[in-house]
Every structure is written in structure tokens, then in C-alpha cells.
Structure 1
Amino acid sequence: MEFGLWEKYYIEILDDFGFSREGDEESAKLLDEILSTEGCLTLNDLGEIVGFSDKYIVFGAGPSIKEHISMLKENYDLKDYVLVAADGATTAMIEQKIVPDIVATDLDGNIDDILLANLRGANIVIHAHGDNIERIASLTSFFNNVLGTTQAQPIGTLYNFGGFTDGDRAIFLAVALGASEITLAGMDFGDIVTKYSRPNISNALEEADDFKKKKLRYAEKFTNWVAENENVEIINLKE
């Protein structure tokens, strides 16, 4: 999705959630400064690394994630797919001894597991927004093979492929990398969250708060947009 089109949705999101565009831009500037100094991947670099397949599996952190991982391990040859974890889904994959090829994260998942995935070869796509400036500042430098993204106007080394949550941004990233088929695992778009998505909740599954429910509605909206507007087949294991 080109930024000119994305910006219309972005303005809607800013208004709907009360987010600060200036905060997003400040976070993006900081991430760009860090990556410009320490080095980062370009989209072409990442494409060359994961270019062994145009079939992708995007793993979300929804309630179905453990079931879907088990099913995929049993019925799919995962070596034939580029595996993309949306933030907290990295933990569910690591638990099953699966290392994603890419982790799309705004750094609010289990950082130890994302670091472990990175050490085992995962490329990290770090997203800057107004609410994660402190995490950008304190954590970015610990990762290798990083590509930076922003939800505001892309600057410097950063990209904006479209998308809002880690899950639907991972789908837009797969499209940008040339995916012809994207299988969605653990992408429920429902009203229940898991500890993979919200590490601080008390139980393994809990009802999402209103903020999270609204985010999930946008994630579903943008996933449907990809299915309807991009030349890619979307297969949701939940359906």
C-alpha cells in the first residue's frame, strides 16, 4: 500500500484512538537515527534473505495459535514457507522449537524470546510509534538484521508498507516481499486475547479490553483489504 493511500487510513486511526502524529514521527526519527548509526536491512536485503519462497505463513498471537502450530507441524513442510511472527507469536513458536524467518514487532512482546529468535537467525522488523519511544531507545541496539518501519511518513531508513497492528503489518510486509500466498495462523480477530499478545494478563485467555477489540477490528479490516486489493491468496486457518 502506497503511503498516499495509507495516510487516509492513518488519519482515521489517529482520530479514532486519539494518537499523536507528532509522537509517531518522534519515535520514527529516533529509530532511524539508531539504525542509520548501527546499520540495518533494506527491503531488498530482506527479500534476498527470505527469497527462497513466495509462500508465507503469518503467525498471530490469537487463541488458536497453539492449535494452528500443531496442525502446521503435522501437515505442512514449514521449510517451504517464509515464517513471519507477529510480535508475541514468537513465544508460541519458540515453545514449539520453530524459529521464524521474520519477527514483526513494536517491542511489547516477550523480548527474551524475540532476542532468542534473532540469535537463531530471525530478521527483526521493528516498528516505531508514539507509545514505544522508550523501548525503541533501550532495546533496538540489542538486535541484529533489523529493518525499521513507521506508521507515519517514512523517513531515512524506515519503510511504511501499510497496516496498523503487528499482525496485519506482517501481512503487508509479506506482500511487499512478493508473497503470492499467505497462510494466517493464530489470526482470530475475536474478542479474546492470550498471554502471548498481552504478557501481563493473569490467565492464559481473557476477554480483550475495548482498546484491544478496536485494534483487532482494524487488523481484520486491513487483512480484508489485502485480500481484496493485492494479487495474493489469503488462507486463514481459522476459517
Structure 2
Amino acid sequence: MHLEFWLKEVYPRIAKDLKLDVEKDRTATKIMAELGKGKFLPADVLKFIEGKDVVVLGPLAKSLDFKWDVLITAGKSILNYDIIPHIHVTDGEEGWKILKKLEEKDCIIILHAHGDNIELLREIVPKLDRFVATTQVEPVNGVYNFCGFTDGDRAAIIAKHFKARSIRLVGFDFERADGLKLRKLKWAEYILRMEGII
């Protein structure tokens, strides 16, 4: 997905539907850019994905009895498994201690800024040494926008962006929720279908 299309066509629809404060997203991005100075990894660290078979792991996998070249976990799904992925995509809800442990085990953290996680960013960013920073609005000062909304669909889009040979989603269910969570999952499913990932 092209960034311009995301910013002009897709994300405004998501924000309107879910009543998101886009200005708070921009504020979160600026805070991330300020707090993370000197800590940001360049996008090039993700180029090892190219040509690889990628598994994006959600929270509902019944086993890990399958193969991958690159394993990407998404958000709080990491709490369900005793595993160190190659990449972990998150907005920080699992807390800084989990993220620090992953970082110390050479997992690449991709930390996302949005209007509802500003306080988490203030807590987490000072604790981490190196990470890739992302946003869902305009990118600034080393904070990227690879597109994608939830941790799960953003992880898959990142794999596609960096030219994975294949992308397999494991442990995802876009129906198992209600209320706002279900609406978010429906947007994730829409994005993944639009991108041809599912």
C-alpha cells in the first residue's frame, strides 16, 4: 500500500468510523520522535525479510508446530508463548519489561505511536535502547509509517513491504471479539484482504 493512499483514503475512514483523534496521533508521533532521539533503528534493519517465508503470530495459535524463516509476533500475543521472535510489532500494551526482555534477546522491536498510548510511550521509550518507530499518520524524524492499523495487520504489511516470499497468519480470528475490538479487527481484516495477504 502506498503511504499517500493510506493517509488520504484509508486511515481517514478508520479514524471517522472509530472516532479516533488524528491530532492526538500526531502529538504521539512528535513525542515518540523527541523521546526516541538516538534510539531509532533505520528501516534497513528489516531488509533481511526479503525472500523469506514469514509467519505472523497472533494470540490464538494452538501450537507452534510449523516452520518459518522469519517469525513476527504482534502485540500482546507474545504473552501467550514462550518464544523469542525475530521481530515484535506493538503499541506497547504488554509493558516495557516484556519489550526489554525481547530487545535483550536480539528481537527487533517495532514500536507504534498513536493517540491512545502517549503515556505508555513516555514509560517505554526511555527503557529501550534501539527500536524501529512507527506511526499511523504522517512520518516525522525517523518515525516511519508502513501503513496498517492493528499490530497484526501492520506486522503483515511490514513483511509485504520488505518483500517476504510468503506471509502466513497463524493464531488470528477476526470474529472473536465484540464492540470496539471487533470493529478494529474488521478494519484489520479489510486491510489484509485489500493487500492480498488473506
The reply on whether 1:86 has 2:86 as its aligned counterpart is: no
Alpha-carbon contact 2:51-2:163 (below 8 Å) kept: no
The equivalences for 1:67-86 within 5 A come to 67-69=62-64, 71-72=65-66, 76=67, 78=68, 81-86=69-74
- What percent of counterpart residues are identical? 30
The aligned counterpart of 1:19 is 20
Q: Whole-Å Cα distance in 2 between the matches of residues 167 and 135 of structure 1?
A: 19
Distance (whole Å) between structure 2 residues aligned to residue 108 and residue 119 of structure 1? 18
Give the conservation status (yes or no) of the 8 Å contact 1:103–1:123: yes
- Which deviates more, 214-223 or 115-124? 115-124
Equivalent residue, structure 2, for 1:40: 40
User: 1:44 Cα shift?
Assistant: 0.9
Q: Give the superposition deviation at 1:131.
A: 0.2
The 2-side partners of 1:107 and 1:152 are apart by: 18
**Residue 159 in 1 paired to residue 122 in 2?**
no
Paired with 1:139 and 1:41, the residues of 2 have a C-alpha distance of 16
SS at match of 1:89: helix
Which residue identity does 1:21 align to in structure 2?
Answer: V
How does 1:54-133 map onto structure 2 within 5 Å?
Answer: 54-61=52-59, 64-65=60-61, 67-69=62-64, 71-72=65-66, 76=67, 78=68, 81-93=69-81, 95=82, 98-133=83-118
Moved over 3 A (4+): 50-53
Counterpart-to-counterpart distance in 2, 1:104 and 1:140: 14
The count of corresponding residues between Structure 1 and Structure 2 is: 197
Per-residue CA deviations over 1:65-122 (Å, capped at 9, x if unaligned) read 2x142x32xxx2x4xx1111101121223x2xx2111110000125433322221111
Query: Which whole-Å CA distance do the structure 1 matches of 2:54 and 2:167 have between them?
Result: 5
TM-score of the superposed pair, with normalisation by structure 1: 0.77
For residue 24 of structure 1, report the CA deviation from its aligned partner: 0.1
CA–CA distance in 2 between the matches of 1:89 and 1:144? 22
Structure 1 residues 52, 165: CA separation in 2 closer, same or farther (over 3 Å shift)?
closer
8 Å Cα contact 1:56/1:182 also seen in 2? yes
1:10 alignment counterpart: 11
Q: Using structure 2 for the length normalisation, give the TM-score.
A: 0.92
Q: Which runs of 5+ in 1 are unaligned?
A: 192-207, 228-233
Query: Which secondary structure state, in structure 1, belongs to the residue aligned with residue 71 of structure 2?
Result: strand
Q: Does the CA contact (< 8 Å) of 2:49 and 2:164 recur in 1?
A: no
Contact 1:91 1:114 in 2 (8 A): no
Residues in 2 aligned to 1:109 and 1:53: alpha-carbon distance in whole angstroms: 30
Query: Partners of 2:98 and 2:42 in 1: how far apart?
Result: 24
* Cα offset, 1:177, TM superposition: 1.7
- Give unmatched runs, 5+ long, in structure 2: none
- Find the residue that maps to 1:41 and give its secondary structure: coil
| 8 A Cα contact 2:113 2:134, kept in partner | yes
- 1:180 pairs with one of 159, 162, 165: 165
